[in-house]
Structure 1
Amino acid sequence: MQNIIIFGASGHGSVVLDCLEKEAKYNIIGFIDSFKPKGFRINGYQVLGSESNLPFLINRFNIVGGIVAIGDNWTRKLIVDKILKISPNFSFINTVHPKAIIGKDIRLGCGNVFMPGAIVNANSIIHDFCIINTNSSLGHDGVMDSYSSLAPSVCTGGSLKLGRFSAVSLGVNIVNGIEIGQHSVIGAGSLVVDHFGDNIVAYGSPARIVRERAIGEAYLSTPKKQQIPNFASL
């Protein structure tokens, strides 16, 4: 099997690792991560260094390609750009979990991730570096532009057009024929029945624009833990 590497040793990286292991098409050498120390282990694999170590690692381990396991769409693009600056001919692979379903006459770019339970229906087009997350579905004739993503349990009707860098959050439902522009985010649990343009955040049932959104603005965050009072001191 060919040797590959995973960029990003976070929780998302673990899920991508699981997809790759279950596909059993590649030999996974380890992770590259700029924020974890070299030698750090995750799910039995080592962090081998940062992106700057890539030329050395390619030669040492005969690496033929890899995948960027970064959940945030804009950050994923920055990492891809950094990799290509260091290694212009680097090859990016797709990973399709065995429990994902890819329909008839699908056209795929590179660097895409299809999580367990993902469904992509017939005649859809998925460009480069997209995420179709756990139990999410893209309806027939859908188009996902590069660096866009569907979060877990998203359900889209046919002929969706999802713009570059846009993200559809957890549990969103989208009716047939919707177009969503670039750099936009649809909030979790929303019902989308209208078209949306670029650089907006929309939320609700039905979804409505709640504010404008800056390019590269973070949208993946962990809620702050509620402070529990110490009743013994009251």
Structure 2
Amino acid sequence: MKQVVIVGGGGMAREVIALMSPMIQSGDVRIRGVIDDTLPLGADFCPGYSCQVLSSIEKFIPEENDLLLLAIGDPAARLKLGRELSARGCKFFTFIHPTSIIAPDAKLGSGVVIYPYSLISANTRLGDFVLINVHSGAGHDVVIGDGSVVCAHVDLTGFVRIGEAVLIGSHASVLPKVKVGDHAKIGAGSIVVRSVRAHATVFAQPARTLRQAEE
């Protein structure tokens, strides 16, 4: 049995607990509780699963067998918390929904979360704390950097390179060999045909730059 602590007490936490329901019911996973900086200590976070708020994230001290699952949707916060908790000696749970397909030669980092009906294709690399939402695909030879979040129904085609802490909105497509820089944002429904600079926000079909953040 794996003992899992959920990091974050929002909607994504409830989602992942629901997705893990068969594993919980079979006894393969036990949710020890949730850590969050906004919820009251001891609150019953998810009725039906005996899932209580254990502590704030800042004050959390892991038990020996704890595996943390990051239920954080913001890429920058996801990456920051993942690295901070790693530096404090925490270990992470990688959750792959059984309906997803992972190529045998794909490489997944620590703390990856993959929602239902997703595809991670041949020779693809996912960094630590990457989140892949439902019905999304990473084609052959794709690289996705630490902490990046791929929303629902996204198509990352062959040889795409995604930097760290990138957000790719729902129904976006990134064409072959395109590179997306660290902390960039791809708007929902965008078709990205050329490389995107770090910290830029792009949208539309074909995607164009909305703004370039200060670095």
Q: Structures share a fold, TM > 0.5?
A: yes
Q: Structure 2: which 5+ residue stretches go unaligned? A: none
1:104 aligns with 2:109: no
Following superposition of structure 1 onto structure 2, how do residues 1-234 of structure 1 map, counting pairs within 5 Å? 1-24=1-24, 25-44=28-47, 45-55=51-61, 58=63, 62-85=64-87, 88-214=88-214
Q: Structure 1: which 5+ residue stretches go unaligned? A: 216-234
**Regions of 4+ moved over 3 Å:** 19-25
1:214 is displaced (CA, Å) by 4.7
Deviations 1:71-117 (CA, angstroms, capped at 9, x unpaired): 001111232244245xx321112100111111230111101100011
Corresponding residue for 1:222? none
Q: Secondary structure at the match of 1:202?
A: strand
Q: Please report the TM-score for the alignment, with normalisation by the length of structure 2.
A: 0.90
Give the RMSD, CA atoms, in angstroms.
Answer: 1.7
- Structure with the largest fraction of helix: 1
Q: Secondary structure at the match of 2:210?
A: strand
Q: What letter is aligned with 1:73? A: P
Tell me the distance in 2 between the aligned counterparts of 1:71 and 1:10: 9
Identity %, equivalent residues: 28
Q: Secondary structure at the match of 1:89?
A: coil
- 8 Å CA contact retained: 2:100, 2:116: yes
Q: What letter is aligned with 1:46? A: Q
Aligned residues, how many? 209
- 8 Å CA contact retained: 2:79, 2:146: no
Tell me the distance in 1 between the aligned counterparts of 2:184 and 2:110: 22
Q: Secondary structure at the match of 1:65?
A: strand
Tell me the distance in 2 between the aligned counterparts of 1:174 and 1:136: 12
Q: Please report the TM-score for the alignment, with normalisation by the length of structure 1.
A: 0.83
Tell me the distance in 2 between the aligned counterparts of 1:22 and 1:151: 23
- 8 Å CA contact retained: 1:160, 1:178: yes
Tell me the distance in 2 between the aligned counterparts of 1:51 and 1:199: 27
Tell me the distance in 2 between the aligned counterparts of 1:35 and 1:10: 10
- 8 Å CA contact retained: 1:183, 1:198: yes
Tell me the distance in 2 between the aligned counterparts of 1:108 and 1:20: 19
Q: Secondary structure at the match of 1:3?
A: strand
Tell me the distance in 2 between the aligned counterparts of 1:27 and 1:156: 33
Tell me the distance in 2 between the aligned counterparts of 1:84 and 1:139: 29
